[in-house]
Chains A and B, each alone.
Chain A
Amino acid sequence: MTPLLSVRDLSVTFDVRRPGSWPWTPPRKLHAVSEVSFDIAPGECLGIVGESGSGKSTIARAVVGTLPSSGGHIMFEGSDLANMDPRQRRVHRRDVQMIFQDPLAALNPRMTVGEIIAEPLITHEPGTPRKEVKKRVGELMERVGLLPNLINRYPHEFSGGQCQRIGIARALILKPKLIICDEPVSALDVSVQAQVINLLMELRRDMGLSMIFIAHDLSVVKHISDRVLVLYLGRVMETAEARKLTTLPEHPYSQALIASVPIPDPVLEKARPRPILEGELPSPLSPPSGCVFRTRCPKARSSCAQEVPALQDIGGRHFVACPYHEAEQVLAVNG
């Protein structure tokens, strides 16, 4: 099956100027994302996990097209994002929609809910009669669990979970093929998180959506994703089926990440061994040579500094970027 979205060796760099430097001094390069590749089949959900600053949101923005990539290719339905003509770009903008972390910040405070949800529709189908727009907005509000009679309310009159539902409705009104969820539940209460995630799963099943689900909470990602991609300092560490990655991770970073998810049972939680990661995420301005994870890796050897470990296929669509990988049983994340 041809993938809906195919990302090959994607790199995104930012120019960083030292404050007060001369305008002609070449700026330093910040490598937010380096050589990331993945595919998403129609209807598939890819989870992306990683610490803050690992480049998760950068990937999302590059795929949506709001950030230019500095290397590699993003192919959407077979056409490269970098050399699309305006008409193709318009189609791409219709088919890829995004849901944001802070639900309230993603809604214009001066617009009513109806106007917010209808905006993509009005932008892409300007001729739609008012009545039709209103009808579709109403249907969609009902679909995401909002009362349609709240159409004239303003975002500040809603709770965080409701605001996120508004954001989801806006993302869905054009019937997109791919939805990118950038930490859609991180800012919500746990109980509301569950509702929103269940809503997303339900919508995905009913509408056959593909999804990129970004989070730093592995238990959430495991619940919703088919495959999971573990990111560290802009590089892929490991990618595998969600169930496999959360129970039998191979890469030392994935193991540490999964071990850091608390188990809601004090006895088990105390008893389990946990490889705690020392230190901080290194600066992406001067990443470590060789394997970027070696400065914090419990299994690091001197050879790790020599060259960047390639992603190796260990069977069953499971890829690991560590030559010394070994499966380690980690206590299953709850859920």
Chain B
Amino acid sequence: MLPNRAAVEGVAAQMQLAEVKGRSLWADARSRFFRNKAAVVSLVLLGLVAAFALFGGLFAQYENDFVDFSLIGSNAYLGVPSIETGHYFGTDSNGRDLFARTVQGTGISLMVGIVGALVAVIVGTLYGATAGYYGGRLDGLMMRIVDVLMSIPFMFVLILMLVIFGRSIFMLFLGIGLISWLDMARIARGQTLTIKNKEFVEVAVATGVHPLKIILRHIVPNLLGIVIVYATLLVPNMIIFESFISFLGLGVQEPATSLGALINEGSRTMQFGYYWQIAFPLFFFVVTIFAFFFVGDGLRDALDPKDR
């Protein structure tokens, strides 16, 4: 009955074919991503910034909280960036080594961004996918909770929290974690609504696959593309958010620091000619944010080839 059956068997028997490795959609996206020059350069830059934050401390000649009293008052000529003194990026207005402080600030800023994005990806995606998949009343309830949380002015609440409970890095993470997943939940829900009507989900339901497995196996992998893109674009937003809080003086507490806090300090002394106090933190801040945006753009183009 089947004309090509014999042929198929014959070919298989003759060639003893090894299993062919399939090209997944992820592999396709990867190759598209690596063809995007701006994105690849940005990825390398991000890697360098991360390496700076992780291993820069090994090269620092001073502790980040060591105050060199001999420099106070003579910052303009003794605290300039130089290799000889070991203050590669100069010193800040309190006579602390700016290199060590920038290393630490970059680390904290990256951490804030990545924690925010991780919370968004994990909580937001699962929350949105669950709401979208079950639909009906549960969906209505879950999304109204998101609406209510969104309608609260978070900057105000976060500032209140930092004032009442004291300024700490944990409070900052908590505040950022609380808001970052809201948008993601909405995006994930919207995507889920389209995916759950696809036939492969119906097959899974008809086969009797457990709803939780359907969400994890069929829905989440298919909305992950959009989620990843949004997450990379969320990281710089979170860094900017944290910088803004720190710029207001409410972020991380001394002697710890972040890029936003360093820029804030630098901006006060900029007018007296201590350009390095703002230039170095600002450089890492701008590079990180631009790199994240370019990587996000590259990922979007790679994961949604039809979108262009």
* Partner-B contacts on A (CB < 8 A): 64-66, 89-90, 93-94, 96-98, 100-102, 105-113, 119-120, 123-124, 142, 145-154, 156-157, 170, 195, 198-199, 201-202
Contact = CB atoms under 8 A, between A and B. Distances in A.
B230 to A, nearest CB: 18
5 contacts: A66-B202, A102-B199, A105-B198, A153-B20, A198-B1
Contact of A170 (B17, B21, B203): B203
Interface stretch (B2-10, B86-94, B260-268): B2-10
A111 B217 CA distance: 9
A123 B207 contact: yes
Contacts of B221: 108, 110-111
B199 A119 contact: no
Q: Which of B1, B26, B207: most chain A CB closer than 10 A?
A: B207
B203 A154 contact: no
A187 B23 CA distance: 25
Nearest to B222: A110
A142 B6 CA distance: 11
B200 interface: yes
B161 interface: no
B50 to A, nearest CB: 28
Nearest to A106: B199
B307 interface: no
Interface residues of B, number: 36
A152 B25 contact: no
Nearest to A86: B208
Interface of B: 1-5, 8-9, 11-12, 17-26, 198-200, 202-210, 213, 217-218, 221-222
Contact of A93 (B5, B198, B208): B208
The 7 nearest A-B residue pairs measured at CB = A153-B22, A93-B208, A110-B221, A106-B199, A149-B17, A202-B1, A108-B200
B12 to A, nearest CB: 6
Given A105-B200, A108-B222, A201-B1, A123 B25 contact: no
A260 B2 CA distance: 29
Given A145-B5, A157-B22, 13 more contacts: A66-B206, A97-B207, A101-B199, A106-B199, A106-B203, A108-B222, A110-B24, A111-B221, A145-B8, A146-B8, A152-B22, A156-B25, A201-B1
Nearest to A144: B2
Contacts of A94: 208
Nearest to A65: B206
Contacts of A119: 204, 207, 209
B206 A195 contact: no
Nearest to A170: B203
A124 B207 CA distance: 9
Given A147-B12, A149-B19, A153-B20, A98 B25 contact: no
Contacts of A148: 12
B209 A145 contact: no
A250 to B, nearest CB: 33
Contact of A152 (B17, B20, B205, B218): B20
B214 to A, nearest CB: 10
